Structure 1
Amino acid sequence: MALVLHAGRTNKNALKVLLVAEYCEVDIELVKNFQMGVSNKTPEFLKMNPLGKVPVLETPDGPIFESNAIARYVARLNADNPIYGTSLIEYAHIEQWIDFATTEIDPNICQWFYPRAGYSLYNPQAEEDAIKLLKRALGALNTHLETNTYLVGHGITLADIIMICNLYLGFIRLMTKSFTSEFPHVERYFWTMVNQPNFCKVMGNVEQTESVHPLQSQISTQSKLKEPLKEPKKEAKKQSINSMIEDSEPFNGEALLDVKCFK
């Protein structure tokens, strides 16, 4: 059977797998019409991952869940590709930066984003702490990238793919130019990576957010303010006893931001 990935195409963790597949020339079929909150709650999906989390990769030998494990599996399918390093020390450094991206970058971006998007309870102090820890991690990453184009060696590895996918949510939802300008080498690194042909093919055009994603409560308030309004009734000119009093046409409110879950 073909390798089948269960996830939405915009899921940042699915992007890891699809990018590795591009670099390793591995064919992966993205399941059609995947709907978060529906497709991952079916009995068939829960047999593959009892927690209902995405992505899940179906393989001839059985399903695999957890995005980093899936990415590692796909990377090893093509032994001739140096994406996983060419020596034991390179392999160790790749694993080092995968852990760094997973424990220092990703959780702090998620702790910042998910409460604002309404997926968990918003706590201002928790957000402040997450931003502080994220800046600490970005500072360390910035120092490393001051003298390195890539995380390991002289080419793109699995570490770069996972790092960029974990930074992706921050760049498109939270980290404005004024925020990331404190980390110029991280900026250079991110835009260099996402403009590589394989990244463009999988991720499309990536644009940095111009503002921090608003709180869900702010979105709700804006929505109420933009509900169609009616002008006060005005008395029409008295031309006859059948003169009519009409309401003006309501204006059209702007579409609210389409918030997508990247879990």
Structure 2
Amino acid sequence: MQDKEDTCSSANPIIVTSQNEKTTLLGTTKQDYASILRWMSFANTDLLTRLATWYLPLLGSMPYNKKTVEDNAAASRTALKVLETHLTANTFLVGERITLADIFTAGIIRRAFATVLDKKFRSEFVALTRWFNTVVNQGYWKDVIPEATFVEEAIKYTPPKKEEKPKKEAPKPAAKEEEEEEPDVKPEVKAKHPLEALGKPTLILDEWKRQYSNNDTRPVAMPWFWQNYKPEEYSLWLVDYKYNDELKLTFMANNLIGGFFARLEGSRKYLFGAASVYGENYKCLIRGAFLVRGQEHIPAFDVAPDWESYEFKKLDHTNEEDRKLVEDLWAWDVPVVREGKEWPHVDGHVFK
């Protein structure tokens, strides 16, 4: 899950794990699955980069800047505190048994325990350390990594020694090599996106994305959109997260949106939309609106493995309430109303 470059993707483990129909690593309910994706997204977006940019400069694998390392160390502790708080009241990240969320997240922070999360840190983050020990002592983990490494004292930066430059030798004349004929290699044909069959639309999506990005949303961008919208080429969809009661901190909910958008990359040519978090910590929801090429949403959204965690409702551009809903969700300047209650806008992402 984690390579030597310290970059990873949460999509591949999900795909591999899902091949086993009897696995319990993806939870037993759709709510479990959604929570697993949320924690994996949190690990991939909030933990991975912060931890890596804390310890890699100390190892000499990245350029060292004292302030940057200190800032990333503080940011890492803040993110790890989220895990500590959750694991103080829960044995595992999701449910009562180990899931892919635990394995994936432990894989993200494994090298941090071996380099910077020292004995003093572990004495402060007791629940996190207990959980990590539980995960790394499972048989399937030990088959790959027999022993986990725990550093006693965090590593410190050591400036590299200056090496003496060897004296330059006069270049030798290059020997002539016979040119070898390269075999003909046929380029790999990429699978076409199903929406490509619809052909080129008259409303160019990139032009709308420029209008939205470069102009005020309500006074300029939205009038342009309604004037140029082609209902025979596109459709509008309201998107609601199904498991809002599982959401905790608003920034984690926003990270969930970011992870979902990252997994929609394969449909970027056919989608535009915005989704936001509304409410407050421990009482929030995710809602958004999308412009989709064609009249069905599934061909555009099923590139993301977690698309079924969302409900999709087709909107009518001739209905004033639906038009207002689209404008509100794209403008981010008013709360949403659900069940008679106002939920203030917190943060969001635009997919463009």
Q: Give the shorter-chain TM-score range.
A: 0.5 to 0.7
> What is the CA deviation profile of residues 172-217 of structure 1, one whole-angstrom value per residue up to 9, with x for unaligned ones?
1111110122111001101111112221111111120122223241
In 2, distance between residues paired with 1:54 and 1:188? 24
In 1, distance between residues paired with 2:6 and 2:40? 19
Maintained 8 Å contact 2:6/2:48? no
**Counterpart in the other structure of 1:169:** 111
**Aligned pairs for 1:91-110 within 5 A:** 91-110=33-52
**Counterpart in the other structure of 1:46:** none
**Counterpart in the other structure of 1:182:** 124
> What is the CA deviation profile of residues 199-250 of structure 1, one whole-angstrom value per residue up to 9, with x for unaligned ones?
1111111120122223241x649x9xxxxxxxxxxxxxxxxxxxxxxxxxxx
Q: Look up the SS of the partner of 2:121 in the other structure.
A: helix
**Counterpart in the other structure of 2:2:** 13
Larger relative contact order (Cα-Cα within 8 Å, sequence gap ≥ 6): 1
The one-letter code of the counterpart of 1:13 is: Q
- Give the aligned CA root-mean-square deviation in angstroms: 2.4
Are residue 117 (structure 1) and residue 59 (structure 2) matched? yes
In 1, distance between residues paired with 2:78 and 2:9? 25
The one-letter code of the counterpart of 1:102 is: N
**Counterpart in the other structure of 2:290:** none
- The 1:220/1:179 distance shift into structure 2, 3 A limit, reads farther
Maintained 8 Å contact 2:10/2:41? no
> What is the CA deviation profile of residues 25-60 of structure 1, one whole-angstrom value per residue up to 9, with x for unaligned ones?
xxxxxxxxxxx7xxxxxxxxxxxxxxxx799xxxxx
**Aligned pairs for 1:10-159 within 5 A:** 13=2, 66-159=8-101
> What is the CA deviation profile of residues 94-119 of structure 1, one whole-angstrom value per residue up to 9, with x for unaligned ones?
01100111112211110111211222
Are residue 197 (structure 1) and residue 139 (structure 2) matched? yes
Aligned length: 164
The one-letter code of the counterpart of 1:137 is: A
Runs of 4+ in 1 over 3 A off after TM superposition: none
Greater fraction strand: 2
Q: Look up the SS of the partner of 1:121 in the other structure.
A: coil
- State the 1:67 CA deviation: 3.8
Structure 2's unaligned 5+ residue stretches are 164-352
Q: Look up the SS of the partner of 2:143 in the other structure.
A: helix
- State the 1:127 CA deviation: 1.0
In 2, distance between residues paired with 1:214 and 1:136? 21
- The 1:187/1:54 distance shift into structure 2, 3 A limit, reads closer
**Counterpart in the other structure of 1:62:** none
With normalisation by structure 1, the TM-score equals: 0.58
Are residue 208 (structure 1) and residue 150 (structure 2) matched? yes
In 2, distance between residues paired with 1:208 and 1:101? 20
**Counterpart in the other structure of 1:17:** none
With normalisation by structure 2, the TM-score equals: 0.44
In 1, distance between residues paired with 2:127 and 2:74? 19
The one-letter code of the counterpart of 1:203 is: I
